[in-house]
């Protein structure tokens, strides 16, 4: 059985005082069939470490262990700061910082090297969907962004349609199912059924307490990557509750 993962991406939001919001999530997941993760800005990772039992992750890393890379942070540094996971290739990184699939692959290898769970994000733009290119784009991103060596223990894939992030718009349930089924099939082709069958596939893009249950019911959806709704403990708790009513096969 794949444990559902509900991961919150705080993006560039929060302050030290946000520990109060995080504390509201303590003890939130009594159901062993699901787990949660909060990815705050990196400054708060260090500030929260040791002050919460909520597993923490980061939102990006550099591929090198160290060196002359002003403003960057290595996977090893994130690990030392308390991260257990790192989001990689988020569409905002791809758009704002020009990250390519090849960059994401190097970062994923760095995350594995440091012992972090890599949450590798892929997703089509609205223009690509309108052009009927969604599956082609997703397959290409997955092929290049994911290096050799992915396992259920070191990797989670997040399907995040770019046009659904922060917009309040979501694909239909059939559209989510189609992409997730295709990602699973691609992983099977590459890694074999056993390894591919253990890798969790998250959906991300305007997930709210109101729509979470229907999305999490989809067979190959193993949880969610949550942006805006992760900033308020009540909303995030509502999404976690929706996940706990579901069981992945
Ligand atoms: C995200 O940024 O990963 C995301 C899914 O954002 P939102 O939930 O706000 O659409």
Give the number of the atom of ligand 1 that is nearest the alpha carbon of residue 206: 10
pLDDT over 60 at 247, yes or no: no
Q: Which residue has the tokens 């290409």?
A: 140
Task: Select from 93, 205, 212, 229 the residue to mutate for testing ligand 1; criterion: most ligand atoms less than 8 Å from CB.
Answer: 205
Give ligand 1 pocket residues (Cβ under 6 A): 9, 90, 160, 165-166, 204-207, 225-229
Catalytic site positions: 90, 160
pLDDT of residue 30: 57
For the whole prediction, is pTM greater than 0.85?
yes
pLDDT at 1: 83
The per-residue pLDDT for range 20-49, each reduced to its tens digit, is 999 999 977 657 778 999 999 999 999 998
Which of 231, 211, 86, 69 shows the shortest CA–CA distance to 158?
A: 86
pLDDT at residue number 218:
97
| Phi and psi at residue 89, to the nearest 5° | 70, 25
Whether residue 248 is predicted with pLDDT greater than 50 in this model: the reply is no
Which of left, alpha, beta for 159 (phi over 0: left; psi -120 to 50: alpha)?
Answer: beta
Nearest CA among 183, 165, 15 for reference residue 96: 165
pLDDT over 50 at 249, yes or no: no
Which one, of 54, 56, 55, lies nearest residue 26 by Cα?
Answer: 54
Tens digit of each residue's pLDDT (9 = 90 or more) over 115-151: 999 999 999 999 999 999 999 999 999 999 999 999 9
Q: Which residues, in sequence order, are CB contacts of 12 under 8 Å at separation 6+?
A: 41
- Tell me the sheet residues that pair with 226: 8
Q: In what order do the strands lie in the sheet with 200-204?
A: 34-39, 4-9, 223-226, 200-204, 155-159, 117-122, 85-88, 57-58
- Distance CA(202)–CA(159), nearest Å, equals 6
**Neighbouring C-beta atoms of residue 48, cutoff 10 Å:** 21
C-alpha–C-alpha distance, residues 133 and 127, integer Å: 9
Q: Which of 13, 166, 232 to mutate to test the pocket of ligand 1 (most atoms within 8 A of CB)?
A: 166
CA of 192 to the centre of ligand 1 (A): 30
- With beta carbons less than 8 A apart as the criterion, state whether 207 and 226 touch: yes
Separation of 132 CA from ligand 1 center, angstroms?
A: 23
């Amino acid at each position: 059985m794949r444990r559902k993962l509900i991961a919150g991406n705080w993006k560039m939001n929060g302050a030290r005082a946000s520990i109060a919001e995080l504390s509201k999530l303590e003890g939130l997941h009594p159901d062993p069939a699901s787990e949660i993760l909060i990815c705050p800005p990196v400054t708060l990772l260090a500030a929260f470490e040791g002050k919460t039992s909520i597993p923490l992750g980061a939102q990006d890393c550099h591929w090198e262990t160290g060196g002359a890379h002003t403003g960057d942070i290595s996977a090893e540094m994130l690990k030392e700061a308390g991260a257990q996971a790192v989001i990689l290739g988020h569409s905002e990184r791809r758009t704002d910082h020009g990250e390519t699939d090849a960059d994401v692959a190097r970062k994923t290898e760095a995350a594995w090297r440091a012992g972090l769970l890599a949450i590798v994000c892929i997703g089509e733009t609205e223009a690509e969907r309108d052009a009927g290119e969604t599956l082609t784009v997703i397959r290409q991103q997955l092929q290049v962004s994911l290096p050799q060596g992915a396992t259920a223990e070191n990797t989670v894939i997040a399907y995040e349609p770019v046009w659904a992030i922060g917009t309040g718009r979501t694909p239909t349930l059939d559209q989510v199912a189609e992409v997730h089924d295709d990602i699973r099939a691609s992983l099977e082709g590459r890694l074999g059924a056993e390894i591919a069958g253990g890798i969790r596939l998250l959906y991300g893009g305007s997930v709210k307490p109101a729509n979470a249950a229907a999305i999490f019911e989809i067979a190959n959806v193993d949880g969610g990557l949550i942006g805006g709704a992760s900033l308020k403990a009540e909303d995030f708790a509502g999404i976690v509750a929706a996940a706990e009513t579901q069981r992945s096969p």
